[in-house]
Amino acid sequence: NAGVTQTPKFRVLKTGQSMTLLCAQDMNHEYMYWYRQDPGMGLRLIHYSVGEGTTAKGEVPDGYNVSRLKKQNFLLGLESAAPSQTSVYFCASKRLIETEAFFGQGTRLTVV
Amino acid sequence: DQQVKQNSPSLSVQEGRISILNCDYTNSMFDYFLWYKKYPAEGPTFLISISSIKDKNEDGRFTVFLNKSAKHLSLHIVPSQPGDSAVYFCAASARLSSGSARQLTFGSGTQLTVLP
């Protein structure tokens, strides 16, 4: 049972490039989330999804887009990367009736 | 404006002693609180939680205390072990206004170092 898996683990982008981060969970969880972690800021919610085909904005959504075409996958896209998007990105998922969320191992993204 | 605050970026304690990590919140809608532990290069892992209808929850060496009137919670680890050295995040959960969705709001974390 892999839990929550993020791909890739590391990436360096040039300003203006685009990329997609993939999150996959095998626990049949309804909810999925994308967070970013920055020094002194904790984890901040970017976007989330309460089910297949539905997404919503979190605290810091600007510059990101998401899609959830399949229940097990939640994609985070950067259309035109900026240095301010240098961060560690975490995906999480949880069941509808529970409060505890399970996290992936993170993706370290550097935009130069 | 941070709704969940961990005012101590770091804490060092001796092995065997008690570690106390603190967290304050401002949103009265929060009704569930969690502590997560994070090692370097890993994702956060769930440690312990408490519902707002309780004031204490214990799990082995870990106890979480909730003071609703003060909007304050704390995590006690006793006895502390070197393997407990990690970043600890406090998180609070509230039901979003849009249907049944819940959202976790995290504090900025406290780096705990347990000295052997």
A42, A45, A105: residue with CB nearest B109:
A42
B4, pLDDT greater than 80 = yes
Write phi, then psi, for A85 (nearest 5 degrees). Answer: -95, 5
Give the pLDDT confidence score for residue A33 in this predicted structure: 95
Whether B70 and chain A come into contact, CB under 8 Å, resolves to no
Q: Give the pLDDT mean for A13-31.
A: 96
Summarize pLDDT for A56-107 with one digit per residue, the tens: 999 899 999 999 999 999 999 999 999 999 999 999 999 987 778 999 999 9
Write phi, then psi, for B84 (nearest 5 degrees). Answer: -80, -10
**Which candidate in B59, B104, B110 is best for mutational testing of the A interface (most A CBs within 10 A)?**
B104
Whether the CA torsion B22, B25, B28, B31 is positive or negative: it is negative
Alpha helices in B19-115 (DSSP H): none
Give the pLDDT confidence score for residue B100 in this predicted structure: 58
Give the pLDDT confidence score for residue B104 in this predicted structure: 86
> Mean pLDDT for chain B?
93
Summarize pLDDT for A23-66 with one digit per residue, the tens: 999 999 999 999 999 988 889 999 999 999 999 999 899 999 99
Give the pLDDT confidence score for residue B75 in this predicted structure: 98
Of B76, B10, B33, B91, nearest to A39 by C-alpha is: B10
Residue of B nearest to A104 (CA): B43
Residue A61: asked if its preceding bond is cis (omega within 30°), the reply is no
What is the interface size between A and B, counted as CB pairs within 8 Å? 59
User: Token pair 């680890």 is at which residue?
Assistant: B77
Summarize pLDDT for B51-106 with one digit per residue, the tens: 999 999 999 999 999 999 999 999 999 999 999 999 999 999 887 665 556 778 99
Give the pLDDT confidence score for residue B115 in this predicted structure: 96
Whether residue B90 contacts residue B6, with contact meaning beta carbons closer than 8 Å, is answered with yes
A5, pLDDT greater than 90 = yes
Tell how strand B56-59 and strand A42-51 pair up: unpaired
Q: Give the pLDDT mean for B24-35.
A: 93
Give the pLDDT confidence score for residue A74 in this predicted structure: 98
Whether A89 and chain B come into contact, CB under 8 Å, resolves to no
Residues of B in contact with A103 (CB under 8 A): 36, 43-45
Q: Do B43 and A104 touch (CB under 8 A)?
A: yes
Instruction: Give CA–CA dist B6/B20, Å, rounded.
Output: 12
Give the pLDDT confidence score for residue A1 in this predicted structure: 58
Q: Which amino acid is at B31?
A: D
Residues of A in contact with B44 (CB under 8 A): 43, 90, 103
B4, B100, B108: residue with CB nearest A40:
B108
